[in-house]
Amino acid sequence: MVTLEFHDPSGTIEVKQPHASRVSALDGRKLLEADFPGIEVLPIDAFPQGNAVIGSEETAALVKQSGVDAVIIGNAA
Amino acid sequence: MTRADFVGVMTNAVAGLGLAPDAAMVTFPIEMFLPGSDISAVEARKREFYEGLTRWRSAIATDVAGEAPMIKVQAASVEDAFSRANHMMLANRWGDGLPLWPPTRERADWILRGSTQPRRHRIGIFPPRGGVTTVETCAIALAMAGGRPEYLPVLVAAVDAFLDPESGSAQLQAASGSAFPVVIVNGPIGVQIRLNSGFGCLGPDPQRPAGASIGRALRLLQQNVGGALPGIGTMANYGGVRYTNAVFAEDEANLPPGWSPHATERHAFAHGQSSISLAFANGATNIRRRGAKKETPEEDALQGMYRMADFMRVPNMPGLAGYEHGTPGILMIPGVVANTMAGLGWTKASIREFLWEHSRIPTEHLRRAGCPAWLEIDSSKVVRESIALDPWPITASPDNFVVVVAGGGHPTNSYWLQGYSPGVVGRTVELPSGFEELLADTDRDLGPR
């Protein structure tokens, strides 16, 4: 019987930070949805759209300044 | 929220950010993301978004860094073991459809004789998946690709350049435009390791096999460590030239007097310093530049220049990525052509100026092809403002053209590697102390150069 042993070529992955904590509930939050009483509805184009700007530091700053508690990002470029 | 066929791309991107390689995702077919589409499905599935915001938890809870495991196959014979290893590598999506050399400890250790650094020396994180890339990771890929130890210094330098954010590799790994890395080697190492600079330098050559192995190893790293699997991690529609990428040496022996090597011009490396220069291309075109009748040398040179510029006068919108600081492409001209042109007074600089001027595209042509829309949304102010120029230059400056002397020694053709290259990144090549011994081993194994 011949045994051939070789390296896994895929390298290792380092998990350096956990995913953002989930919110416990959506009541009282700012969202893109009017299902919850008292929710402030933001228009879908409230923040910059498009490949060139969606991932920029400026967009991230705008999101943070707005005070939203959570963000849903769409990507299909 | 993403396309159903983008799950691999998004998982890679998340892992590359140092997060666990999964994420709360709600996927939709591509049709919903097209302009004017019906987006009512988003509201219909709003509960999934609420779940993602509140109750989703990563399935990967712990740090998975550490040493990669060894893989074991058992078989009745050496041939069967080799065959099973190849099947296993393909089943694990580590291969490219061509036979692979299983990267045993012995093989990787042999390749590592070409390193100046310890095997665990970390070069960086390979985007977008974020695989930790060490010298050993490179040696494993080079072993799989059928490489030799003396190729490792070039591969390590190329990987270091690839992982430099200036190269744009993080985006290009996943992008749809089929970009492939081009590695131009300067200095004595090209001849030393049997890297081609002449006939067939972009293709297979059993006399000068280094380019095939180095380029293939780089592609295996891009796929296996970086996550660029077709249709899963990379959205490239076609993936052309990707089996071996393009790795070749500039034909420095045939540089005309007064013409500097590419690495000296672009990166200020000293003449005679072994180095690599990495850019990305998305096309490969042969240009028949020679005349057909009894043109004078002046006519042949000028007509050839116009013909080459004509090939470049195309709306290569991906090239906008390198409009300011990258390159619109790499022009390769044979040494015999370079020397004839130099004798007529042409320099690399005057060639660039000519190409820049005569590859400009009339605004009317840009408009009918819908190109202004791409310029208007570009993140670069220089690109957006270039809309006002008529005719429109395909790059911001003539200096952005890469012109190298390479190719077989007759004047018929030149070659254009159309660029999709945010930057052109250079690195010097560091050689181990036993490098001459490695070359002696190659003379023994492959015969004299």
Least confident of A28-37, B246-255, B263-272, B381-390: A28-37
B314 has a chain A CB within 8 A of its CB: no
Residue B65 has pLDDT above 70, yes or no: no
The two three-digit tokens of residue B323, written as one number: 């409009």
What pLDDT does residue A76 have?
A: 58
Which of B53, B135, B155 is the mutation pick for testing A, counting most A CBs within 10 A?
B53
Higher pLDDT, B58 or A39: B58
User: pLDDT confidence of A64, banded at 50, 70, 90?
Assistant: confident
User: pLDDT confidence of A53, banded at 50, 70, 90?
Assistant: confident
Mean pLDDT to the nearest integer, B342-370 = 97
The two three-digit tokens of residue B336, written as one number: 């015999």
The two three-digit tokens of residue B153, written as one number: 């210094």
What pLDDT does residue B148 have?
A: 98
Closest CA to B145 of B246, B218, B242, B90: B218
User: pLDDT confidence of A63, banded at 50, 70, 90?
Assistant: confident
Distance (Å) from the alpha carbon of A15 to chain B's nearest alpha carbon: 5
Euclidean distance between CA atoms B446 and B449, whole angstroms: 8
If contacts are CB pairs under 8 Å, which of residues 128-167 in chain B contact chain A? 129-134, 137, 140-141, 144
> Angle, nearest 10°, between helix axes B152-162 and B210-220?
40
Residue A47 has pLDDT above 60, yes or no: yes
A5, closest residue in chain B (CA to CA):
B72
Residue with tokens 């400009």: B360
What pLDDT does residue B325 have?
A: 96
Euclidean distance between CA atoms B157 and B278, whole angstroms: 9
Closest CA to B184 of B208, B202, B203: B202
Least confident of A24-33, B81-90, B306-315: A24-33
The two three-digit tokens of residue B314, written as one number: 């195309």
The three-state secondary structure class of A28 is coil
B178 has a chain A CB within 8 A of its CB: no
Strands B131-134 and B122-126: antiparallel
Euclidean distance between CA atoms B214 and B374, whole angstroms: 35
What pLDDT does residue B274 have?
A: 98
B103 with A6: Cβ contact below 8 A: yes
B20 with A75: Cβ contact below 8 A: no
Euclidean distance between CA atoms A12 and B427, whole angstroms: 25
- CB within 8 A of B64, min separation 6: which ones? A12, A13, A14, A15
What pLDDT does residue A36 have?
A: 62
| Dihedral (Cα; B111, B170, B132, B19), 10-degree rounding | -160
Distance (Å) from the alpha carbon of B110 to chain A's nearest alpha carbon: 13
What pLDDT does residue B422 have?
A: 97
Return the sign of the alpha-carbon dihedral for residues B238, B166, B221, B331: positive
Q: Select the residue of B52, B71, B379 nearest A52 (Cβ to Cβ).
A: B379
Euclidean distance between CA atoms B396 and B400, whole angstroms: 8
What pLDDT does residue B66 have?
A: 54
Closest CA to B338 of B261, B265, B266, B279: B261
What's chain B's length in residues? 449
Closest CA to B148 of B114, B180, B100: B114
Least confident of A57-71, B290-304, B382-396: A57-71
Mean pLDDT to the nearest integer, A14-35 = 72
A18 with B60: Cβ contact below 8 A: no
Residue B172 has pLDDT above 70, yes or no: yes
Residue B38 has pLDDT above 90, yes or no: no
Mean pLDDT to the nearest integer, B422-435 = 97
In chain A, residues with a C-beta closer than 8 Å to the C-beta of B53 are 22-23, 26, 70, 72
Euclidean distance between CA atoms B182 and B168, whole angstroms: 13
The two three-digit tokens of residue B108, written as one number: 């990787």
In chain A, residues with a C-beta closer than 8 Å to the C-beta of B33 are 74, 76
Euclidean distance between CA atoms B150 and B343, whole angstroms: 37
Higher pLDDT, A9 or A40: A9
Each residue of B41-57: pLDDT tens digit?
888 888 888 888 888 88
What pLDDT does residue B363 have?
A: 97
Percent of chain B residues past pLDDT 70, beyond the cut = 98
Mean pLDDT of chain B: 94
Least confident of A8-22, B371-385, B401-415: A8-22
What are the b/e assignments for A35-64, b being 16+ CB within 10 Å?
eeeebeeeeeeebeeeeeeeeeeebeeebe
B30 with A12: Cβ contact below 8 A: no
Each residue of B254-302: pLDDT tens digit?
999 999 999 999 999 999 999 999 999 999 999 999 999 999 999 999 9
- CB within 8 A of B129, min separation 6: which ones? A13, B11, B12, B15, B16, B21, B225, B226, B227, B233
Please report how many Cα atoms fall inside a 13 Å half-sphere around the Cα of residue B22, on the Cβ side: 9
Least confident of B21-25, B172-176, B317-321: B21-25
Higher pLDDT, B3 or B238: B238
B59 has a chain A CB within 8 A of its CB: no
Which of A1, A3, A15 is the mutation pick for testing B, counting most B CBs within 10 A?
A15
What pLDDT does residue A52 have?
A: 64
Each residue of B197-252: pLDDT tens digit?
999 999 999 999 999 999 999 999 999 999 999 998 999 999 999 999 999 999 99
- Amino acid symbol at B271: H
The three-state secondary structure class of B95 is coil
B38 has a chain A CB within 8 A of its CB: no
